[in-house]
Amino acid sequence: MNDQPLDYSILPPDPGGARPTWDPSAAAAGLIATAVLALAIYSGSANLLHFDAALVGYTLATLFLAFGATYRLVTWSRSPAARRYLSKSRKALLPRPLGDGTLTASAREVTSTVLLQRFIAKRSRPRWLAHQGLFWGVILATLITFPLTFGWIHFRAVPGTGSGYYVYMMGVRAAHLDALSLLGWLTFHALDLASLLILSGGAYFLWHRWSTRGNSLTQLGRDLMPLLALMAISVTGLALTVSSVFMEGAWYQPLAFVHMCTVVLTLVWIPFGKFFHTLQRPAMAGVGLHKELGVQKGGVAQCVRCGEPVEGTIFLDDLKQTMGELGLGFGDWVETCPSCKRLERGAAYRNHVKEGYR
Amino acid sequence: MRRALPVMAPGIGSFRKERSRARTKPRPREERLVETHCCYCGVQCGMYLRVSGDGKVFGVEPRDHDINKMKLCPKGVTAYQQVNHTDRLTTPLMRDRRDQPLRPVSWDAAFDRVVSEIQTIQAKYGADAFAVYSGSSLTTEKCYLMGKFARVALGTKHVDYNGRLCMVSAAGANKKAFGVDRAANPWSDMLETDVIMLLGANVGECFPVATQYFWGARDRGAKLITVDPRETPIARTADIHVPLRPGTDAAFCNAVLHVIEREGLVDEEFIAARTIGWGQLREKVREYPPERAGKICGVDPALIEQVALTWGRADKAMAFHARGIEHHTQGVNNCLTVINLVLATGQIGRPGKGYGTITGQGNGQGGREHGQKSDQLPGQRMIEDPEARAHICRAWGITDEELPHKGTSAVEMVHQAERGEIAGWLGICNNPLVSMPNTDRIARGYDSLEFHCQIDFFLSETCVRADVVLPSTCWAEDEGVSTNAEGRVIKYNKAAEPPGEAKPDWWIVCEIARRLGRHADKFGFGSAREIFEELRVASAGGLADYSGMTYERIEQSGGIFWPCPSEDHPGTPRLFEQSFAHPDGLARFHAIDWQHPAEEVDDEFPLRLTTGRTVAHYLSGNQTRRIDALVQQTPSPWIEVHPDLGYSNGDPVRIVSRRGSATYPALVVASIRRDTVFIPYHWATPVAANLMTVDALDPTSLIPEFKVCACRIEPGVAMDETMPPPVPPGGQSYDFSRMTDRQPSAPQGRGTGRG
Amino acid sequence: MTKKALFIDPGRCIGCQACVAACRECDSHPGKSMIHLDYPDPGNSTAAAPTVCMHCSDPVAPCAQVCPTDAIPIDEQGIVGSASEELCIGCGNCVHACPFGVPKLDLVEMLQSKCDMCYDRTSQGKLPMCASVCPTDALFFGTQAELMQKRPGVQAVDIFGFGDETVRTNNAMVAPAGKNLDRIPGGYSREPDSRE
């Protein structure tokens, strides 16, 4: 058995593009995004009137997130392939004049890929269920906590009822809730529900990682931290509920601090690690539709060697442009199907390298 | 799906995904590795089976064993998938009449039926009316037991094994020339040789892992000569390839020796010191100038000269052959002409100088030397040799009168069944409905039996005709030894428990013997190890002497070459260094005349049909036709025809011989002779190659002439359908439906580029 | 060259597809084979040619460069991995940009995967599945020195020509020693009729 470790003395050239270099214009975009968010918080909370000072940590982390995510999105979209597909994706999804069906097509595309993530179900059903748990848990939590943190939503007790609350949105009284009603109970425990969704999905993924061998190049490490972060948020969040409902608030303050720490760290982490796919994937949601529309419009290109369909003509033209921009000088080679590329290379080897390899 | 799938360029989706849901599960983290060997061909590659925490075999890991140095072929890689296969037999099956379907029954019910049928038939027609037909893919312990069971428990002379379809011609020739039947050299000797001649051996496909020795020799500058009607993957790059006509090997070898003798390249010293019979042979080969042989073989005489000079001038040379020259009515003679060549040039008994046959079955060697062959007793003893009989009678504790004499061979036994001379049959580890020649006649033979019991772990095409089918273990569920093509004894280890109620073959056979009652005490074995201990005693003093081997020694050493007569003996990797096994220590030359095959071509049947294997399948395919990766590689058979015959790839071609006909898709290849067509034989009726083959036998070895018969081809109408292998009651047949295109792109199967 | 790499010699390949079967046994992609095995001259010859990822180093991994979501990871030793499951949108850019025709695409799962040189095995010092089982060493894994020692009379070439462009790779092809080759022809040239 070979037990020598891989011994690379020659490192390959720098993998271009993957190296982070400081990008001032992306930073500017990030600052603008941060400023816009700050302004929204300021005005949405009636000039910080409804802003809960205890939540300032969350707010700062979110502001950093706005900067980081924008910065990353801008640098990402600089790569020729991403830029081309971001714009094609947007165009494919943009509603066109009603009646030609593209609006429903877009809606279906978004539902299928962004909300239901049906491609995951095709890979593995249990994994899809678990991912849906994570996804909806995070969506629910985000929809509740961000407006609360920013002071965009706040509650005020209806005097004299004991359990009645007015709900204020952007400073305007929008609804009335009885905390003892089912709707009221759900509203005040929505975050607990979100935590449970996340925990059950996360538990599956943890078990899956633990019990099976995976691909360490694409999975381990990168994968585990985000998962643990989400689960830590959920556990500490649930602990807050337990403290207030069953323990008469014991340990509430230290728990709240720990919870905030987990959330802040996670928010700050989003632009850098696996979490970034939560922004990348929706941004690319229209690519499938774009390819399909492209085939309808431009037809399918046949392999120049075997005549079998290769891909949509428009797709290949896009790819050739991308390759040209990247300085890959064999863009026309895409007109040959991958199978024929291999056969041609095999023939070239037989004709020019090892003749007589009949 | 909401919308049509996107455009898919050829081959980009060809993951060759596994079919069964259970199999695509990610691998468990908990595992242990079980050291064992592959169950398939005569190379017997070492491998580890990966076993999960809950005792299920779930994968394979390459093992750096002396034989294969981690290498495996596609069959070896996927062999483990037999273990938890959904097609496995998990309960005894039985039926009262042949027109009923097989139904699951208890072991007791099955044993009661088997025992009462044996007793009835033997009482009615005599002991010899019940036959045992065994196999060589069993461990040596089981092979030994089958011979003992037939002769001691049943008292029948009719016992034989499926090596009769495989390498008995080489065995017969080796016995005649050398006095012992074993490959003369370990394969590592090849690495020191200068010339290798490979006759009738499609090594690249039938023994892929052995290729590394040939390539290793060539890397060091050795020349490779191949002799085969087809330009097989190993012949493709050979230095000299002789595409001779099937059935003309003896003429070719005689002519090669003719040139060597003419040029004075024979080793007079060796001939004088170590051989007998050169004078006669020299006269004989003088009758075979290359011009004459060239006409017989259909090759350029200059090619024969070239081969002869290359071989004759080599300092060290080795010859290997396989079924290509053995599956003939002159199979033994063919092998003898190769041995003549080796002996006349003194190319034997030294590193880099040697000779061997490449056994086709995993335990082809071990299976033929411990007494399940119709004419042999354990230790490669001849059954009519009084001394051998006395030794075995002592070992078994029976009298000479109780030990039957020589019986008939495998194909003959089926023909006897057709004539009503054999009425009862116990088959184990074989599938003659695919593997024997002239399938229709074989089917008639089996259908004529009054009682037929078959032991197997998958339901074969032969099992479905049986009255009782007993479920046994596959190789990973039991331990035991096996002897590879070099004569090296290796050991299989148990990796998992048998599924359901399946039992080890030795337990089943011993249980039948115990219930029959005749010498029941001689079958009290409780484990494979106990049988091996008895085998050591029985083989002691014989040619194939295993008496010095123990399980522990075999495992510690990476295999022991027999003879190994004592526990401090290192084994014998290279034979004939000092002397040959005849009493006088000399080797024998044999003057051989080339004879026509049993069936020559004529106007009605102008082409020669030759049959063989393809790399993805093994023997009758009962194992490999169920393994998804292998079926995807090669789903169904084809007929290989030369471009000059005017067919295009995929055309339906109907082949007709005097015995049968079938329609296959054409695979048009320039790598086959234009007067020859080829069909791989792993599939069953209606696409069985053996529907066409001739059941003529070699007079000495009684091997059938699989490699040549007369046929004609014509444009076909509809392709005959390849049937999925049979499955037990309630099982699900293999589903070909997701394979839109089953046409192979090459003799090795379908490339991954299309489909 | 002291690094370990795959050296490919189609001239030795017997087309048995052990590599194809073995690839499915790798734990990183159980049940799926990433290797290609083609018969380049069906009908005339039993010749075969295996294709694994060459792990391009210059230009670095065209597949990763054309990926719109940066889904294809490259480790510090230059090993180009399969697309990350959470990022890959199954667009197929990599499949068609790869000059060697390597990446595979599952159109149902909308997921690319490709040969990653058995990352999980090689990073633990084990041989890649395909090279460890290959009966003829048509796929050989080791250092160039090891290759030369086993096979005098060969050279290893890790530069491929595609038209006027060259692509340098981490894995290499084996060629006869005497042959004056500055690059292995990749099969692509701008004149459509240059092939036989």
Q: How far apart, in whole angstroms, are the C-alpha atoms of residue A233 and residue C89?
A: 29
Q: How far apart, in whole angstroms, are the C-alpha atoms of residue B187 and residue B213?
A: 7
pLDDT of residue A3: 36
Beta pairing, strands C104-106 & C111-113? antiparallel
Mutate to test the interface with B, among A339, A340, A344, A350 (most CBs of B within 10 A): A339
Set of chain C residues whose Cβ sits within 8 Å of the Cβ of B76:
18, 133
Q: Is A152 exposed, middle or buried (0-12, 13-18, 19+ CB in 10 A)?
A: buried
CA B475 to chain centre: 16
- The number of residues in chain C equals 196
Set of chain B residues whose Cβ sits within 8 Å of the Cβ of C113:
15
Which strands sit side by side in the sheet containing A153-157, from one edge to the other?
A153-157, A164-169, A172-178
From A44, A17, A23, select the one nearest A154 (Cα to Cα).
A44
pLDDT of residue B3: 53
Q: Do C48 and B62 touch (CB under 8 A)?
A: no
Domain boundaries in chain B? 1-19+597-755, 23-82, 93-165+363-561, 168-357
Count how many pairs of residues, chain A against chain C, have C-beta atoms within 8 Å.
263
The yes-or-no verdict on residue A202 having pLDDT over 80 is yes
SS3 (DSSP) at C33: coil
The structural domain count of chain C equals: 1
Distance to chain A for C147, nearest Cα, Å: 15
∠ CA B645-B646-B647, nearest 5°, is 105
The answer to whether B133 touches B410, Cβ cutoff 8 Å, is: yes
Task: Write out residues in chain B with pLDDT < 70, as ranges.
Answer: 1-5, 19-26, 754-755
Set of chain C residues whose Cβ sits within 8 Å of the Cβ of A18:
70, 74
The answer to whether C55 touches C167, Cβ cutoff 8 Å, is: no
CA dihedral in degrees (C24, C26, C32, C33; nearest 10)? -60
Q: Do C104 and B212 touch (CB under 8 A)?
A: no
Does the predicted TM-score (pTM) go above 0.80?
A: yes
Task: Extract the runs of DSSP E, i.e. beta strands, from B350-420.
Answer: 354-357, 376-377, 381-382
Mean pLDDT of A156-161: 84
Q: Which residue of A has its CA nearest to B63?
A: A1
SS3 (DSSP) at B143: helix
- Which residue in C44, C108, C181 is closest to A122 by CB distance? C108
The answer to whether B502 touches B89, Cβ cutoff 8 Å, is: yes
Distance to chain B for A187, nearest Cα, Å: 35
Distance to chain A for C25, nearest Cα, Å: 12
Q: Which of residues 89-108 of C touch A (CB under 8 A)?
A: 89-93, 95-103, 108
From B15, B8, C71, C157, select the one nearest A309 (Cα to Cα).
B8
From A147, A148, A137, A128, select the one nearest A234 (Cα to Cα).
A137
Q: Does residue C88 fall inside a structural domain? A: yes
- Which residue in B6, B10, B27 is closest to A213 by CB distance? B27
Distance to chain A for C20, nearest Cα, Å: 15
pLDDT of residue A181: 86
Distance to chain B for C104, nearest Cα, Å: 5
Question: A149: pLDDT confidence band, cut at 50, 70 and 90?
Answer: confident
Q: Which residue of C has its CA nearest to B26?
A: C30
Distance to chain C for A185, nearest Cα, Å: 35
CATH code that applies to domain B168-357:
3.40.228.10
From B132, B141, B135, B181, select the one nearest B159 (Cα to Cα).
B132
CATH code that applies to domain B1-19+597-755:
2.40.40.20
Question: A13: pLDDT confidence band, cut at 50, 70 and 90?
Answer: very low
Q: What sign for the dihedral angle of Cα B670, B673, B675, B680?
A: negative
Q: pLDDT truncated to tens, each residue of chain C (196 aa)?
A: 468 999 999 999 999 999 999 999 988 888 889 999 999 888 888 899 999 999 999 999 999 999 999 999 898 888 999 998 889 999 999 999 999 999 999 988 889 999 999 888 888 888 999 999 999 999 999 999 999 999 988 999 999 999 889 999 999 999 998 888 889 999 987 554 444 3
Q: How far apart, in whole angstroms, are the C-alpha atoms of residue B747 and residue B232?
A: 8
Chains that touch B (3 or more CB pairs under 8 A): A, C
Query: Could you tell me the CA-to-CA distances from B113 to B130, B372, B459, B465, B512 in Å, in that order?
Result: 15, 24, 19, 16, 10
The yes-or-no verdict on residue A16 having pLDDT over 60 is no
Task: Specify the CATH number for the domain of residue C15.
Answer: 3.30.70.20
**Element containing residue C168 per DSSP (H, E):** strand C165-176
Q: Is B363 exposed, middle or buried (0-12, 13-18, 19+ CB in 10 A)?
A: buried
Q: How far apart, in whole angstroms, are the C-alpha atoms of residue B422 and residue B433?
A: 17
From B700, B593, B592, B582, select the one nearest B275 (Cα to Cα).
B582
SS3 (DSSP) at C140: strand
Contacts of B135 (CB under 8 A, 6+ apart): B161, B162, B361, B367, B428, B429, B430
Is C42 part of the contact surface with chain A (CB cutoff 8 Å)?
Answer: no
**Structural domain of residue C42, as residue ranges?**
5-185
CA B647 to chain centre: 32
The answer to whether C81 touches A32, Cβ cutoff 8 Å, is: no
| Fold of the CATH domain A24-95+120-283 | Fumarate Reductase Cytochrome B subunit (1.20.950)
Q: Which residue of B has its CA nearest to A215?
A: B26
Peptide bond into C30 cis (omega under 30): no
Query: Could you tell me the CA-to-CA distances from C72 to A327, C37, C85, C115 in Å, in that order?
Result: 19, 23, 10, 12
Set of chain C residues whose Cβ sits within 8 Å of the Cβ of A8:
3-4, 77-78
From A271, A244, A227, select the one nearest A34 (Cα to Cα).
A271
- Which residue in C34, C46, C151 is closest to B233 by CB distance? C46
Question: A218: pLDDT confidence band, cut at 50, 70 and 90?
Answer: low
The CB density around residue A106, as the number of other CB atoms within 10 Å, is 18
Q: How far apart, in whole angstroms, are the C-alpha atoms of residue B152 and residue B393?
A: 10
Is C184 part of the contact surface with chain A (CB cutoff 8 Å)?
Answer: yes
Q: How far apart, in whole angstroms, are the C-alpha atoms of residue B548 and residue B66?
A: 21
pLDDT of residue A231: 94
Q: How far apart, in whole angstroms, are the C-alpha atoms of residue C78 and residue B293?
A: 59
Set of chain C residues whose Cβ sits within 8 Å of the Cβ of A288:
89-90, 110
Mutate to test the interface with C, among B68, B77, B631 (most CBs of C within 10 A): B77
Q: Do C31 and B753 touch (CB under 8 A)?
A: no
Q: Do C20 and B74 touch (CB under 8 A)?
A: yes
**Two tokens at B733?**
């047949």
Q: How far apart, in whole angstroms, are the C-alpha atoms of residue C124 and residue C126?
A: 6
**Two tokens at B429?**
């580890």
Distance to chain A for B27, nearest Cα, Å: 5
**Two tokens at B382?**
């001849």
Q: Which residue of B has its CA nearest to A292?
A: B6
CA C136 to chain centre: 17
- Which residue in C37, C136, C153 is closest to B752 by CB distance? C37
Domain boundaries in chain A? 24-95+120-283, 299-353
Q: Does residue C195 fall inside a structural domain? A: no
Query: Could you tell me the CA-to-CA distances from A138 to A119, A146, A171, A227, C172 in Å, in that order?
Result: 19, 11, 25, 12, 47
pLDDT of residue A18: 47
- Which residue in C21, C107, C136 is closest to B8 by CB distance? C107
DSSP label at A7? -
DSSP label at C12? G
Mean pLDDT of A23-41: 93
Distance to chain A for B403, nearest Cα, Å: 49
**B93-165+363-561 CATH pick, 3.40.1280.10, 3.40.50.150, 3.40.50.740, 1.10.357.10:** 3.40.50.740
Q: How far apart, in whole angstroms, are the C-alpha atoms of residue A174 and residue A156?
A: 11
Q: How far apart, in whole angstroms, are the C-alpha atoms of residue B102 and residue B96?
A: 9
Query: Could you tell me the CA-to-CA distances from B414 to B158, B438, B708 in Å, in that order?
Result: 11, 11, 21
Instruction: Give the CATH architecture of domain B23-82.
Output: Single Sheet (2.20)
DSSP character string of B649-699: TT-EEEEE-SS-EEEEEEEE-TTB-TTEEEEE--S-TTS-GGGTS---B-T
pLDDT of residue C190: 56
Set of chain C residues whose Cβ sits within 8 Å of the Cβ of B671:
44-46
pLDDT of residue A7: 37
pLDDT of residue A2: 34
